[in-house]
Structure 1
């Protein structure tokens, strides 16, 4: 035994065996530690799909236009899971199409997608693998812009002028084939409510083909200023006072005037064409003397609005004597009587006492126009006439020329010459006959400087 233990080879063999045991022991402990920590000596291979990865296109942007390249693609990566997670989170790789060759030909071509800046230990698959693209010469042309709006939003009675744009033209850049398809360049003014006033705003410019499809081009400027002038037709008409009711006993209406005597109406052309005046009813039944009042104007149904809501009315009167049993004849009501009725009143003669009936004629009785508007003049062809009174002798003796008033109502007359019926105001108990029952009156507008 001592012989073997003292041998050099024995010692060598023992040392090698101890070294082998030591290596196996240490390696076993390391593997145990790795497993306890969840580590593996071999990497775990996995796949990950990254969606909507942007695509970059390299080409001569100053002279070419490229279409047909999708904006994004999906990339599927395969490799160690730790590398996949990092690539997905960082997205530090790029997907691109290279059309930078200066000798590239125009027209349609098939190109494949490429990927760069990806970890070399990852394998990438791109979906789709390729794209059908079109390469065209880049063209810039100037086009006029046409503004448009929804005219159904115009409120009733309102009209709109042709909208104007600023600037009037824009520069459009795109593929030559696309530029050649442009049929319309429009700027649509967005309006969300009824139109009853002028609108100013910004509108986005669009290039459209003949079928009104939007074209993929670049427009400079992308928006323009649009102005749409909205207005409503107007018409100025006279305000005509209309007497209503009957004057009190002993009161005679000499004139009724309105201030202002005109009003501006707003509405459609058709509606305004049917209106020549606005009537203002004036109730005279409670008038005791000269009166100034303010009355409301009634807006015609077909009119959208009026420039005035009220008007001032001046009523001028005079006192007259009345019979105890019969009120004085109202001149307006007298004018409205049928001619046959007036004739009967004029010719009433007491047949039972013919000897007591006499006649008395007055010449050059002044004819006075009443109801004249402030901005008008009235000229009578003949401003005097004769009247013959019929009645009892005692009554006629008391009547003088001053007791007789002849008037013509010009309140409803427009410019021009008119034959107007005379209104007679004479003492009670007599009838009359006129040389002429009408007077020729010419109405003219006053000079503004007057």
Structure 2
């Protein structure tokens, strides 16, 4: 066989082998179909599946309604190329939306829509629907009452004055919840055996008549509280000194220190231990008026009180009395066992 013929055979064999290799490569990269769904195929790029948490935005008429029971976030399952899923995890811009616009009072189940998802990814919300209640919106102004554990006050000391700023706040929420609020408490945290004055920024909480927290929105979350704490002895001395100065000044008005006595506007005082801080106040007026006053009644609503509560109550000036040494006092009410 000639050299030329041998070379030609080698070239043909090489070309045939090359063609086989190319054919094998093309076949290996052809989409692979499975089952009855011939639109699904295996991608050449590596895929990844992951779940992230996205905030839930509820769209509704906030002028007339408030929402109850909506979750703050939902899970989102992502599937697609590894690079895109990782990017979504690192820079989560996906938001879940529940649209209740146009709906009225009541419970509604609506779909969760996802925004900010790459068109190259498959995203599924979990849950895919949420149940949310639209309630009629209401608001009211409520007094802020200073509340504290009087057992933390050192023996021989008492709270002689409290101030709070702001004195009132606006509460907003479902009408049923707003109607249930009795007062807003500024809950002061005291150390054991407190003797010194206290100035503190305290959290505000709305309470019902039982002292249980009510879920509403407050116009202010905290209040500034100041408490004057004095020894019982110095308080008595100060009152005696004040009374003495008043009686020797030649003024037509006199002063008298009288005890505070709780009187039930609802419920019965027989079922409770009631204490005031201070336990007595100084009244100023004519001697004829003061001679007929032995104590100062304080009206208390004792209905639905099931546990110990301390709150601020306003004092009512009796007829004929010119002034009171305190406009309000702290009252601690404990059910008798």
Q: Give the alignment's TM-score, normalised by structure 1.
A: 0.41
Structure-2 change in CA distance of 1:201 and 1:44 (3 Å): closer
Q: 2:283 aligns to what?
A: none
- Is the CA contact (8 Å cut-off) linking 1:148 and 1:163 kept in structure 2? no
Tell me the SS of whatever aligns to 2:191.
Answer: coil
1:120-199 matched pairs, under 5 angstroms: 120-161=119-160, 163-199=162-198
Partners of 2:184 and 2:43 in 1: CA distance: 67
Deviations 1:257-307 (A, max 9, x none): xxxxxxxxxxxxxxxxxxxxxxxxxxxxxxxxxxxxxxxxxxxxxxxxxxx
Report the alpha carbon displacement of residue 95 of structure 1 after superposing the two structures with TM. Answer: 1.2
Structure-2 change in CA distance of 1:41 and 1:130 (3 Å): closer
Q: 1:215 aligns to what?
A: 214
Partners of 2:182 and 2:135 in 1: CA distance: 20
What RMSD over aligned residues (CA atoms) do the two structures have, in Å?
A: 3.2
The structure that has the greater radius of gyration is 1
Report the alpha carbon displacement of residue 72 of structure 1 after superposing the two structures with TM. Answer: 1.6
Q: 1:75 aligns to what?
A: 76
Q: 2:98 aligns to what?
A: 97
**Deviates most, 148-157 or 55-64:** 55-64
Report the alpha carbon displacement of residue 24 of structure 1 after superposing the two structures with TM. Answer: 4.3
Tell me the SS of whatever aligns to 1:125.
Answer: strand
1:263-342 matched pairs, under 5 angstroms: none
Tell me the SS of whatever aligns to 1:88.
Answer: helix
Partners of 2:56 and 2:117 in 1: CA distance: 15
1:367-446 matched pairs, under 5 angstroms: none
Q: 2:201 aligns to what?
A: 202
Task: Choose the corresponding residue for 2:51, options 49, 53, 57.
Answer: 49
Gaps in structure 2 of 5+ consecutive residues: 1-11, 30-41, 238-337
Partners of 1:72 and 1:210 in 2: CA distance: 33
- Is the CA contact (8 Å cut-off) linking 1:68 and 1:131 kept in structure 2? no
Q: 1:114 aligns to what?
A: 113
Q: Which has the higher contact order (CA 8 A, sep 6+)?
A: 2
User: How many pairs were matched up?
Assistant: 210
Deviations 1:177-204 (A, max 9, x none): 2212212311011222422232222222
Q: 1:59 aligns to what?
A: 60
- Is the CA contact (8 Å cut-off) linking 2:155 and 2:193 kept in structure 1? no
Structure-2 change in CA distance of 1:41 and 1:204 (3 Å): closer
Deviations 1:368-390 (A, max 9, x none): xxxxxxxxxxxxxxxxxxxxxxx
- Is the CA contact (8 Å cut-off) linking 2:146 and 2:225 kept in structure 1? yes
Structure-2 change in CA distance of 1:45 and 1:219 (3 Å): same
**Deviates most, 210-219 or 90-99:** 210-219
- Is the CA contact (8 Å cut-off) linking 1:96 and 1:115 kept in structure 2? yes
Gaps in structure 1 of 5+ consecutive residues: 1-16, 35-39, 237-450
Partners of 1:89 and 1:200 in 2: CA distance: 44
Q: 1:278 aligns to what?
A: none
Structure-2 change in CA distance of 1:108 and 1:21 (3 Å): same
Partners of 2:128 and 2:209 in 1: CA distance: 35
- Is the CA contact (8 Å cut-off) linking 1:188 and 1:204 kept in structure 2? yes
Tell me the SS of whatever aligns to 1:57.
Answer: strand
Q: Give the alignment's TM-score, normalised by structure 2.
A: 0.54
Partners of 2:92 and 2:196 in 1: CA distance: 54
- Is the CA contact (8 Å cut-off) linking 2:80 and 2:122 kept in structure 1? yes
**Deviates most, 41-50 or 69-78:** 41-50
Report the alpha carbon displacement of residue 66 of structure 1 after superposing the two structures with TM. Answer: 1.1
Structure-2 change in CA distance of 1:43 and 1:192 (3 Å): same
Partners of 2:77 and 2:105 in 1: CA distance: 32
Report the alpha carbon displacement of residue 117 of structure 1 after superposing the two structures with TM. Answer: 2.1
Q: 1:226 aligns to what?
A: 225
